[in-house]
Amino acid sequence: MFYPSRPTGSDTERLTGVVAADAGRAPFPVVVLLPGINVPGDSYRWLAVLLAGRGFVVVTPELVGELFGGSHGVTPGIDLDACGPGAYGTRATTPLIGAVLGSLAEPAPASPLAGLLDLERVVVGGHSAGGTVALQSAAHVPGLRGVFTYGAHTLVAAVLGHPPGTVLPVGAPVPVLLMSGEHDGVIAASTDRYAAADAGVDPDPVARTFHEALADADGAHAWVRIAGADHFTLCDPVDATSARAFLEAPGEDGDRAVDGARALVGRLVAAFCASAVLPGRPAPTDPAGPTDPVAPEDPAEPTEPTEYDETTEYDEYDALLARPHPRLLHVRRR
């Protein structure tokens, strides 16, 4: 769990390593970030730290449980029965979100965040399978204000009993940001699971999720496809010994392109979360200074500083999608 802090230099802080929360910025909205299959939570630390600097408390849970076929590993806690015909929509497809929020509702008295959380302002995000269950479970999350995903979709595996090519709907009336990479080897290698209904159907599961799983929301929903990004761009570091990173082909521009894409993802997520929980209010400033999450070495991004005190979160998010940014291959809103 990552949170905005303000070091005091106290003996307690020195002896325990526990730094006090910056109570002046509370109550803190909460972001729950669900992992992909066999992706350790530390792979998302960079994004959690970035969001904590923008005033959010971020939880990166790591659950070890049963995967497909009886194997075990890191999982977002997929409830396959809840995904089946007749059951989908009646409950969350993962118990992990509820478990995390339930734990946050009853923090230990000595917790630095006791009394400082706002569980009426919750954003759920997810990578890969974590993003899928975030979308599927959104209608069952109390206090939810928005959902963001990377490399995720709701096209359901045919073995679960749905008709071939079924896209499960996202039932929550909150803004959704779908992000996908230009070179997603994992999604490309998994399409045979979903048995598309006919040859005329769009083969991109993320595109189909945007067009078929979401209801029109006056532009509040967005799908962006990011140049130079792959399935694990959201992860830093990428653990090549687990998950399915071996399915990714090296991009033509190498690590530089991936780093630039990751920086843009961070900026998009931070702007989306702020817009979702505090629409129309002045953008929060980081006590460390008005830093721009986009890497300064990214040649596609202007280098002038961002004047956060003259914008709102909605302005920041909307501007990223309206330009569009040179690294965004596709921007769709509905």
Indicate if the pLDDT at residue 213 is higher than 70.
yes
CA distance 10 to 213: 51
Least confident of 178-182, 209-213, 325-329: 325-329
pLDDT of 313 reads 52
Cα 12 vs. chain centroid, distance in angstroms? 34
Q: What does the pLDDT look like over 10-54, one tens digit per residue?
A: 988 888 888 999 999 999 999 999 999 999 999 999 999 999 999
Dihedral sign for Cα 27, 31, 211, 150, please: positive
pTM here is: 0.87
Q: Are 177 and 149 in contact (CB under 8 A)?
A: yes
Q: Are 46 and 138 in contact (CB under 8 A)?
A: no
CA distance 162 to 84: 7
pLDDT of 321 reads 92
| Conformation bin of residue 191: beta by default, left when phi > 0, alpha when psi is -120 to 50 | alpha
pLDDT of 15 reads 87
Q: Which two tokens stand for residue 67?
A: 């995967």
Indicate if the pLDDT at residue 304 is higher than 60.
no
pLDDT band at residue 160 under the 50/70/90 scheme: confident
Least confident of 48-62, 95-109, 168-182, 294-308: 294-308
Of residues 210 and 295, more confidently modeled: 210
CA-wise closest residue to 179 among 221, 123, 218? 221
Q: Are 3 and 52 in contact (CB under 8 A)?
A: yes
Q: What does the pLDDT look like over 104-115, one tens digit per residue?
A: 999 888 889 999
pLDDT band at residue 196 under the 50/70/90 scheme: low
pLDDT of 157 reads 85
pLDDT of 307 reads 36
Indicate if the pLDDT at residue 142 is higher than 50.
yes
pLDDT of 109 reads 83
Q: Which two tokens stand for residue 55?
A: 């005033």
CA distance 258 to 17: 34
Q: Which residue has the tokens 């109390």?
A: 142
CA distance 89 to 275: 27
Q: Are 276 and 316 in contact (CB under 8 A)?
A: no
In SS3 terms, 306-323 reads as CCHHHCEHHHHHHHHHHC
Answer whether the bond into residue 324 is a cis peptide, omega within 30°.
Answer: yes
Q: What does the pLDDT look like over 64-92, one tens digit per residue?
A: 988 877 889 899 999 999 999 999 999 99
pLDDT of 323 reads 77
Q: Give, in order, the Cα–Cα distances in Å from 181 to each of 52, 150, 248.
A: 25, 8, 11
Q: Which two tokens stand for residue 185?
A: 């080897």
CA-wise closest residue to 221 among 278, 165, 170? 170
